[in-house]
A and B are shown apart, each in its own frame.
Chain A
Amino acid sequence: MHFEYRVQGGDFVRAGQASSQVKKILKQLNVSPGIIKRVVVALYEGEVNIVAHAFQGKIYVDIETNKIRVVLDDVGPGIPDIEMAMRPGFSTASPIVREMGFGAGMGLPNIKANTDKMKISSVVGVGTRLEFEVALKE
């Protein structure tokens, strides 16, 4: 199964709608609550990252029998130093993002902690791609 969602940069009211849809789909597929939580926490952090840092983005979700694969592709400023961005506590988030309860430099490490495979690639001035996979069976 393949699903796609558009994400608008700066739109904190709608941030989380894609993650919410994916959560409902995984529930319908009877995936265990523990695995659903890992997937949607990682996805939500990624979705908030697009809203917080990029102009716009797309989320591609592929659900297979044994795993879910998610790609978050954004058009935005990109990440100059990915190693630095992965460091817990490092953030370039604006005060507005911080007021929304994010931007503490915990998102990427938390995505890593909740997924089985994770990869980030980025081109400064173009955008960032975050990919992750989670096995759907324990």
Chain B
Amino acid sequence: MKIGELAGLVNGNVVSCHDKLDRDIEYAFASDLMSDVLTVRADKLLMITGLANMQAVRTAEMADIQAILFVRNKTVSEDMIRLAEDNGIVLIESPYTMFRASGLLYSNGVKPVY
């Protein structure tokens, strides 16, 4: 699924890398635990998290994650946007809960990692 389409499904607001919305996402992983995210080997991966800090973006950078979906109206800071822009990571803010966002994406074909 394209990142742009996925953002629409979760009523998302894209805040970085608007030029990369046609990238393809195959898998998603939902966690607030960055160490757990760092164990995932899948490519074309979306991270779904409620943890809105610099380390979430750093984790995406290290793990080659294409996009991060921040749930429950978590606000992304300017520093996070700058880091994401530098590394080509799409950041999306969604008002939905992690459960609702995950459910919507799963039922529309985004695959779980395990």
Contacts and interface: CB of A to CB of B under 8 A. Distances in A.
A47 B32 CA distance: 19
Interface residues of A, number: 23
A107 B49 CA distance: 19
Interface of A: 12-13, 15-16, 19-20, 23, 33, 37, 40-41, 44-45, 48, 100-104, 106-107, 110, 113
Given A19-B62, A44-B62, A110 B53 contact: no
Contact of A13 (B34, B36, B54, B59): B54
Interface of B: 32-39, 49, 51, 53-56, 58-59, 61-64, 79, 87
Contact of B62 (A12, A40, A100, A103): A40
Chain B CB within 10 Å — which of A41, A45, A100 has the most?
A: A41
Contact of B58 (A16, A33, A113): A16
* Chain A contact residues, majority secondary structure: helix
A20 B32 CA distance: 21
B38 A110 contact: yes
B62 A23 contact: yes
Given A15-B54, A19-B58, A113-B39, 11 more contacts: A12-B54, A20-B58, A20-B62, A37-B62, A44-B59, A48-B55, A101-B34, A101-B37, A101-B55, A102-B33, A102-B35
